[in-house]
């Protein structure tokens, strides 16, 4: 089958969940046996989101091939179980960089370089890249931003041209918002009509409309929208708020979104999607009555998107352990010796979050000391693992000034230090140790047991590492370096075996956790938290 291109655009407001709709559609097509990939085109000028503060667009996701990517790629992987790559996330910055590089090389042979055709051609080339690999039947392209934004115009122009050139092999799904006005007690369709008109003004006719809504939209209203927007009456689908994002594929399928899209692309729908494993996961969600309470200690806790993949990995792990997740965000900047007991004592497990820089770091040490001394299941991720190492040095090894050279370049005990190959790097973008690397786990370690394997591959995003000179004294004092990179010997996992569950990973296991393949170390962490919870309630019953 020739690859088919599905474009997903958004109107009215941002944050409607284009990523979730694209992922849900991909999930359904995959369950029909097709090979699907999703790519995101972001209209900002940064080359990639790696240099962005999480307050801007939330977490930076990392692909297996080491690309720092938009967090929507995390949804794509969680919903489809298909790896994304650098080719799945392209920004205006990258498009312009390519165009300017070509101009400098002389590729344009003396022509005036312009937005049309040169920038739009570069966008088109990138849109078609994954289709040319022969690996996919469907390429879903999510266009970031909202129709009407100045900065998304070149992307929409490229979409218009592709639609024109390959009309039968492409279609457009437009996501809009139908607000409910409480004072008037009415749902309003006008913003949708206007946003479709804006799309039509740039020459794109949507084939399918997905209406985000907080209230059920009556069928006559959907029919009215269809009539005003030149869309088939049954191609108007509504997406009401769902109790969990993982319900959305089923909601979309119930309204035949997958069939409508196949029809728009001239593909015969031969069988129903096999959603049995997905439904099993949803059943776990529905059946979970008891709760597991996890504290997440970090400095971006005001912003739920900053730790998106950790939240989702925890949710998946809790669900497969038949527990509801009660995730409590604990601001590391506000955590002190005086309030740590009050903040952490109800937790069944604690996560120490990744991050960069000094802000909030002391709170992480306070949390770790308390967790270690009270033997709470504790999981440190990346900076969280580095903090575990530093806290252990300060309070167990007696190295009071121990630190990471990231926080204190002149520390006398640099137990965490800049990686050797980072020392000459001056440029910030895309220069960390990024992407998936192998890690060999020590036989018999808790980490190896958790994975049920002695070799794993996980994704990284860091510049600093455990300082090998201190390895022996850690081992002797009870913090074991149980995971290392087979080539560089870089320490990837530490644990204190005598504790209930005290593990730190230099890598980010959250990036590889998906609905149908939850990450084993998260599963094991939640299992330990549940066990600890049960122990606590047994003791209090006595």
Q: Does 383 bind ligand GLN (CB under 6 A)?
A: yes
Give 29 or 60: the residue with its C-beta nearer to ligand GLN. 60
Stretch that binds ligand GLN, among 190-198, 216-224, 252-260, 455-463 (CB under 6 A): 455-463
- Choosing from 459, 462, 480, 527, the residue that interacts with ligand GLN (CB under 6 A) is 462
Q: What are phi and psi of 368, to 5 degrees?
A: -65, -40
- Smallest gap, in angstroms, from Cβ of residue 461 to ligand GLN? 5
Residue pair 208/260 in contact by the 8 Å Cβ criterion = yes
- Choosing from 11, 58, 354, 504, the residue that interacts with ligand GLN (CB under 6 A) is 354
Catalytic one of 57, 67, 460, 508? 508
Q: Does 355 bind ligand GLN (CB under 6 A)?
A: yes
> Residues in contact with ligand GLN, total (CB under 6 A)?
10
The angle at the Cα of 265, spanning 261 to 269, to the nearest 5 degrees, equals 65
Give 195 or 386: the residue with its C-beta nearer to ligand GLN. 386
- Choosing from 215, 303, 356, 488, the residue that interacts with ligand GLN (CB under 6 A) is 356
Helix, strand and coil percent figures for the chain, each rounded to 5: 45, 20, 35
**CA distances in angstroms from 209 to 86, 173, 195, 244, listed in the order given:** 29, 6, 11, 22
- Smallest gap, in angstroms, from Cβ of residue 65 to ligand GLN? 17
**Active site annotation includes 508:** yes
Measured CA to CA, the distance from residue 532 to residue 272 in angstroms comes to 43
- Choosing from 83, 124, 442, 463, the residue that interacts with ligand GLN (CB under 6 A) is 463
Q: What are the E-state strand segments in 361-448? A: 378-381, 403-404, 414-418, 433-441
- Smallest gap, in angstroms, from Cβ of residue 531 to ligand GLN? 27
Catalytic one of 382, 387, 439, 481? 382
Q: How far is CA 300 from the centre of its chain?
A: 15
Give 145 or 483: the residue with its C-beta nearer to ligand GLN. 483
**Active site annotation includes 172:** no
Measured CA to CA, the distance from residue 457 to residue 512 in angstroms comes to 10
Q: What is the pairing mode between strands 138-143 and 4-10? A: parallel
**CA distances in angstroms from 220 to 184, 188, 206, 224, 234, listed in the order given:** 18, 13, 20, 6, 11
- Smallest gap, in angstroms, from Cβ of residue 542 to ligand GLN? 41
Give 17 or 355: the residue with its C-beta nearer to ligand GLN. 355
Find the length of the chain: 542
Q: Does 406 bind ligand GLN (CB under 6 A)?
A: yes
Binding residues (CB under 6 A) for ligand GLN: these are 354-356, 382-383, 406, 461-464
Which residues are part of the catalytic machinery?
382, 508, 510
């Amino acid at each position: 089958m020739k690859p088919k291109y599905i474009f997903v655009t958004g109107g009215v407001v941002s944050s409607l969940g284009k990523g979730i709709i694209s992922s849900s559609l991909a999930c359904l097509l995959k369950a029909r046996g097709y090979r699907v990939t999703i790519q995101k085109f972001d209209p900002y000028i940064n080359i990639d989101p790696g240099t962005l503060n999480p307050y801007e667009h939330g977490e930076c996701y990392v692909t297996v091939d080491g690309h720092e990517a938009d967090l929507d790629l995390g949804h794509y992987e969680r919903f489809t179980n298909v790896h994304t790559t650098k080719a799945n996330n392209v920004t205006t910055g990258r498009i312009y960089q390519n165009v300017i590089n070509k101009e400098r090389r002389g590729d344009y042979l003396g022509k005036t370089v312009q937005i049309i055709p040169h920038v739009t051609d570069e966008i088109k080339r990138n849109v078609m890249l994954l289709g040319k690999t022969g690996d996919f039947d469907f390429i879903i392209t999510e266009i970031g931003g909202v129709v009407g934004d100045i900065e998304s115009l070149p992307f929409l122009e490229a979409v218009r041209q592709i639609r024109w050139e390959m009309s039968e092999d492409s279609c457009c799904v437009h996501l809009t918002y139908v607000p409910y006005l409480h004072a008037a007690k009415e749902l309003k369709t006008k913003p949708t009509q206007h946003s479709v008109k804006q799309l039509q003004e740039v020459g794109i006719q949507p084939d399918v409309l997905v209406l985000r809504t907080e209230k059920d939209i009556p069928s006559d209203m959907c029919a009215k929208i269809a009539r005003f927007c030149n869309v088939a009456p049954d191609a108007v689908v509504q997406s009401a708020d769902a109790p969990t994002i993982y319900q959305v594929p089923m909601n979309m399928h119930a309204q035949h979104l997958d069939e409508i899209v196949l029809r728009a692309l001239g593909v015969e729908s031969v069988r129903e999607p096999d959603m049995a494993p997905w439904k099993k996961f949803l059943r776990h969600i529905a059946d979970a009555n008891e709760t597991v309470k996890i504290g997440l200690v970090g400095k971006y806790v005001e912003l739920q998107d900053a730790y998106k993949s950790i939240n989702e990995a925890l949710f998946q792990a809790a669900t497969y352990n038949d527990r509801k997740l009660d995730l409590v965000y604990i601001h590391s900047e506000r955590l002190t010796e005086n309030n740590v007991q009050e903040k952490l004592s109800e937790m069944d497990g604690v996560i120490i979050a990744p991050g960069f820089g000094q802000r909030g770091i002391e709170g992480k040490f306070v949390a770790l000391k308390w967790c270690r001394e009270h033997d709470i299941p504790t999981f440190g991720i990346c900076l969280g693992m580095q903090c575990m190492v530093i806290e252990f040095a300060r309070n167990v090894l007696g190295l009071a000034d121990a630190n990471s050279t990231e926080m204190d370049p002149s520390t006398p005990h640099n137990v965490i230090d800049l990686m050797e190959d980072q020392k000459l790097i001056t440029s910030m973008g895309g220069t960390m140790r990024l992407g998936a690397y192998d890690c060999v786990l020590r036989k018999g370690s808790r980490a190896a047991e958790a994975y049920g394997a002695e070799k794993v591959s996980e994704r990284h995003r860091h510049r600093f590492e455990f300082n090998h000179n201190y390895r022996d004294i850690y081992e002797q004092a009870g913090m074991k370096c149980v995971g290392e990179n087979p080539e560089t010997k870089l320490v990837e996992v530490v644990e204190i075996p005598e504790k209930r569950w005290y593990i730190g990973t230099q890598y980010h296991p959250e990036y590889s956790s998906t609905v149908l393949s939850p990450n084993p170390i998260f599963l094991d962490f939640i299992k330990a938290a549940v066990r600890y919870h049960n122990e606590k309630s047994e003791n209090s019953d006595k």
